[in-house]
Structure 1
Amino acid sequence: MRFLSALSFLFLVCTVQAQIIQDSVEVDDKYLEDQFYLGLTYNFLLDKPDPVNQSNLSYGLQGGLIKDLLLNLRRNVALGIGLGYGYYSYYSNLLSTELDEGFEYSILEDEDVFKRNKIETHMLEMPLQFRWRNSTAESHKFWRIYAGVKLGYLVGGRSKYVPREGPKETFYNGDIRKFQYGLTFNFGYNTFNLHAYYGLNNLFNDGVLLNGSPFTIRPLRLGLIFYIL
């Protein structure tokens, strides 16, 4: 009899506790979404001079943290501000050469003479976004649309040339623009989300010459982005 009474009491306690947990989930008005992000992109070069052609796989990796400044009680509309890191490589036939004073640029006419030729950037990034999602406190599967700008500061820019014969050449390239910015758009459902970055300024500093003329190259990055927590 005591065993049945104890069992009934335990069942009652578990039922009440489960109901409290369920109620707390239902009325939770403090949940957060999409605080951490990881992304993989393919990088295009826009507005490049006609002789410049891309080659190999120009890829990019990014990751960071974004915090929401909520704009409504439902917590699904917000302004997001974040901090992250991005690595981006751009493979092409645009050869950078380090001189005693500055750098020189030319076109690799014969692609058979080199294996890889690239410019890579390491960026400290600050995404600023208007964020909408149809999320709730109960579900982690929802649609999202995040649009905004991304500010980037170059912490390391390097040129690398690998010929088919002979030693490779690599050096830090001071012609790569320190401050870069562009528009971003992220769209998707649940785990998989499309990511786009459209650069608004030149990848290089003003006044950089190719065959005696200034040139412009702007990055376009397309890929996938994943959100955690």
Structure 2
Amino acid sequence: MKNLLLPFFILFTIVSFSQDDENTVVDSLYREDQMYATFSLNLLQNRPAGFSKHSLSSGLSVGFLRDMPFNKKRTWAFAAGLGYSYNNLKNNIKIDNSTSVINYTIDDTFDKNKLVLHQLDLPIEIRWRNSTYESHKFWRIYTGFKISYLFADKSVFKSSTEDITVRNNNDLSKIKYATYLSVGNNTGNIYVQYSLSPIFKDVQLNDKRLELSSLNIGFVFYIL
């Protein structure tokens, strides 16, 4: 995790210095270029019969967005950027690769059962805020669309009799789409993200298609 976050801190340092110089020379051309970090609970949707969660499923994302104002007061803007997302999904779906085909069942006999997803994000936003170059404390409403690429994953099932780990599961959706909204004032803001794509591509569970998807609710923090 430290290695994944390091590039973002380096980028943040570079952007901070460049913004200070820009605001000093031409304050009227300020931008809200921002690092962001979200912390959320992952509320799984489209749950199959017998599904249950055994602990909180968490989500984390960090990244950078380039702000591009398009009106004279610079209260409206587009933004595009790059980010990383981590999701830890804890539930009672057992993923078993002990045979030539990966099997999915509901199993409550575990001591530990989780699915961890690592994604590269490409967010695009439209932004409204009542900010000025003199103050960074302002109200904002940002809404956007995100394309995510799953580059690593791991599921772990442990019980008194089994210890199963599956990595790089081809049944998982590699490309996912989501829409999101952040609303608030100053640094911390309420964040909601709804996935438009299922977590699994074409998986059967109890003779029905597994269409599990995610809804993330939490907070997003912006850093200039």
Task: Please give the range of the TM-score, normalised by the shorter of the 2 chains.
Answer: 0.7 to 0.9
Number of matched pairs: 201
Structure 2 CA distance for partners of 1:106 and 1:83, relative to 1, 3 Å = same
Conservation of the 8 A alpha-carbon contact between 2:31 and 2:69: no
In structure 2, the partner of 1:96 is 95
Matches within 5 A, 1:1-229: 28-108=27-107, 110=108, 113-163=109-159, 165=160, 168-172=163-167, 173-206=169-202, 208-229=203-224
Greater shift, 124-133 or 50-59, is seen at 50-59
Task: Name the SS for the 1:61 alignment partner.
Answer: strand
Deviations 1:96-119 (Å, cap 9, x if unpaired)? 1014433110001x4xx3222111
Paired letter, 1:33: E
Task: Name the SS for the 1:57 alignment partner.
Answer: coil
Structure 2 CA distance for partners of 1:159 and 1:174, relative to 1, 3 Å = same
In structure 1, the partner of 2:15 is none
Identity of counterpart residues, as a percentage? 38
Conservation of the 8 A alpha-carbon contact between 1:38 and 1:64: yes
Task: Name the SS for the 2:151 alignment partner.
Answer: strand
Q: For 1:100 and 1:50, how far apart are their aligned partners in 2?
A: 24
CA drift at 1:221:
0.5
CA drift at 1:194:
0.7
Deviations 1:23-47 (Å, cap 9, x if unpaired)? x869711222251101111001101
Conservation of the 8 A alpha-carbon contact between 1:119 and 1:157: yes
Structure 2, unmatched stretches of 5+, are 1-22
Task: Name the SS for the 1:170 alignment partner.
Answer: strand
Deviations 1:120-155 (Å, cap 9, x if unpaired)? 110000111111111001011001100111110000
Greater shift, 98-107 or 124-133, is seen at 98-107
Q: For 1:80 and 1:99, how far apart are their aligned partners in 2?
A: 45
Q: For 2:162 and 2:103, how far apart are their aligned partners in 1?
A: 19
TM-score of the pair, normalised by structure 1: 0.83
Conservation of the 8 A alpha-carbon contact between 1:44 and 1:90: no
Task: Name the SS for the 1:29 alignment partner.
Answer: helix
Q: For 1:153 and 1:211, how far apart are their aligned partners in 2?
A: 28
Structure exhibiting the larger radius of gyration computed from Cα positions: 1
Ranges of 4+ aligned residues in structure 1 off by more than 4 Å:
24-27
CA drift at 1:166:
5.0
Q: For 1:73 and 1:26, how far apart are their aligned partners in 2?
A: 18
TM-score of the pair, normalised by structure 2: 0.84
Conservation of the 8 A alpha-carbon contact between 2:31 and 2:68: no
Paired letter, 2:135: S
Task: Name the SS for the 2:131 alignment partner.
Answer: coil
Paired letter, 1:90: L
